[in-house]
Structure 1
């Protein structure tokens, strides 16, 4: 167990996380793991202020206050909060949480091969909007305003920057949440696939994410079930998941 632990019960206690995985040929399996908040980072992926899909934007409006609550509590326990609102970093160019990255020695991530992974269980080839929009455009200009950025946090949308910071601060466990589960959360340079490939203990916060999925596309399930299918895919092939309740004080 790592030192400098901060947790639910006080400064000496770790976070107790009930992790869910799906071993090959098995249904969901849970396992309790204790992690040090002071050796953990929380990555908030692409929780933007606006989105070209009305449905996606509305769901983020619901998620953002809860994400902020989790970030505030984890920050208070010593967890590094990394805000990753891709393609909007010019908005934050003078923020201390952005400027701090300039002082981090660059470190090239390991070139480990990606894990074998089958295709995702949903078809998002239409863009994934469930509210009828057909034309994609970059609607975002910053992170959602409901999520506070502290000067002690970090702001980056670059995988090498994020990896360098995690290594510099000896953060071995990475919690990741945000949107969208089947797209940016998986595929960004700082997303799950790379975090796992780099050997970091990666955990998806499964109730604080959302997929881009249109129920009119295969496998023709509800939007909520589509998101669940992507989470289950991640649990089976990439990394465990946890609920946000494990990250909050009771």
Structure 2
């Protein structure tokens, strides 16, 4: 997959010798299973240097119109930035291929269409390159993450009917109203190509010696993945293909499984692609600035870090987040390295954009880079939520950490206002209930107050900081109460929530579920949706 010139540039980076001016410095994000058949994935990145002359951008199906009005509006929103990207890449020598499928008649006399048709057939034309590709072998081990069987329309019914009537009024077929690529994207008659055919696109790539291909456009879960020139075909046939994840959209209806918000549906498809099909990149890597975000995508970014081997939170927390956070939050998961306990791959990069950090970590040192990212996040006054072993997340009992790693022995008192000093025997149950003065706290709203018997060991945490606000207590018969959940305002001004609950049996308890849900909304300073308040415990599938 790597060409000699790419390898030479990577070696040049190692020896501090600059690559050729104008080369594309790309950061490819991909996902790798934590260990075979674990079903958990690290989100990782790697750096590559691409020659512009050996790189192409394919613009997939950014039509002038669509049967879904919301799809049109979203495409119109990102198209100006995409056009700027294409102009910049074109000036650098990147080949631009416009692929508005089904619209070749409109471009019959266009020079860019004629240029595509004149390219000589490649002797290496892959089998079935002219056909749609609905799955490649690597996808067989995954579960496709969304139900798009209804076509993915996310217009409201009244909105959709009005839009269809408007299209009919223009003399268009409301089911297939497009006739060309949007005019918001410029087609350079002297340099660009126009084609919607897999063999023609392959011929262009082969004739120009192009192995690096960026797919952008719509819709990621349909055309971008499946077209004859799409991600699957190019990945299957050996191209170094990537998805530009911030210059795309998904056809997904939040009323369909898994009942998450539209933008979360897009995230799920991107995650599937990174696991099984191809890496992804962002537009800022070529034109600078920050990655594009839709104006309507106001979701706070929740990062969930899991590195403990006793309570199965690497299963329970993703299940919880998948059930309850998919509408209002963007969620990233960071899992422990299965072969190096002092590493949580991807944590440092995830924290760069995190708005809320949820920790379930037990006695780990971190690399200096990861610990620096964590300390920077906390010092910025951003919220931290800890469950169970997070109070001793980065403590090794004051032992010397492995070379190249760091601990944070005072993490519990400094970040949580806590005082963990052991726990009662595992076989002794405790009764968890709300603290008397806590019922009016935002985190306690709609939390069932009758309490429950907890089967995980009761942590010894008393006394917590005087400034902490106690929410839950736990008690073993004939023993003193212990703080079980509280909030704390840190010296840096940030707010934290900690609970010593988090045993796998706690996730079956409505009290704990609602406590954790409320704490995340509280940390993000968002109101809990009324759907949850009207009926708790909620059935996630029915709620969303």
Do residues 139 (structure 1) and 177 (structure 2) align? yes
Checking the alignment, whether the CA contact within 8 Å between 2:22 and 2:92 is kept in structure 1 is no
Aligned counterparts of 1:41 and 1:102: Cα–Cα separation in 2? 17
Checking the alignment, whether the CA contact within 8 Å between 2:138 and 2:277 is kept in structure 1 is no
The runs of 5 or more residues in structure 1 that have no matched partner are none
Encode CA deviations 1:77-132: one digit per residue, 9 max, x unaligned: 00000000000111111111000123211126323993331442000111101103
Q: Which residue of 1 aligns with 2:233?
A: 194
Do residues 100 (structure 1) and 139 (structure 2) align? no
Q: Which residue of 2 aligns with 1:114?
A: 136
Q: Which residue of 2 aligns with 1:20?
A: 29
User: Is the alpha carbon distance of 1:2 and 1:10 closer, same or farther for their aligned partners in structure 2, counting shifts above 3 Å?
Assistant: closer
Checking the alignment, whether the CA contact within 8 Å between 1:120 and 1:182 is kept in structure 2 is no
Q: Please provide the CA RMSD for this pair.
A: 2.1
Checking the alignment, whether the CA contact within 8 Å between 1:84 and 1:155 is kept in structure 2 is yes
> TM-score by structure 1 length?
0.92
Match runs of 1:156-195 below 5 Å: 156-195=195-234
1:206 pairs with one of 224, 245, 262: 245
Aligned counterparts of 2:194 and 2:20: Cα–Cα separation in 1? 26
2:5 pairs with one of 2, 6, 24: 2
Q: Relative contact order, CA 8 A, sep 6+: which one is greater? A: 1
Q: Which residue of 2 aligns with 1:36?
A: 51
Q: What displacement does 1:237 show?
A: 0.2
Name the SS for the 1:110 alignment partner: coil
Q: Which residue of 1 aligns with 2:281?
A: 242
1:123 pairs with one of 143, 147, 155: 147
- Determine which structure has more spread, i.e. the larger CA radius of gyration: 2
Aligned counterparts of 1:187 and 1:198: Cα–Cα separation in 2? 14
Aligned counterparts of 2:137 and 2:186: Cα–Cα separation in 1? 34
Aligned counterparts of 1:190 and 1:230: Cα–Cα separation in 2? 18
The runs of 5 or more residues in structure 2 that have no matched partner are 10-17, 34-39, 129-134, 165-173, 290-544
Q: What displacement does 1:10 show?
A: 10
Moved more, 182-191 or 105-114: 105-114
Aligned counterparts of 1:10 and 1:58: Cα–Cα separation in 2? 40
Checking the alignment, whether the CA contact within 8 Å between 2:29 and 2:281 is kept in structure 1 is yes
Q: Which residue of 1 aligns with 2:187?
A: 149
Flag as ranges the 4+ runs of structure 1 deviating above 6 A: none
Number of aligned residue pairs: 246
Q: Which residue of 2 aligns with 1:63?
A: 78
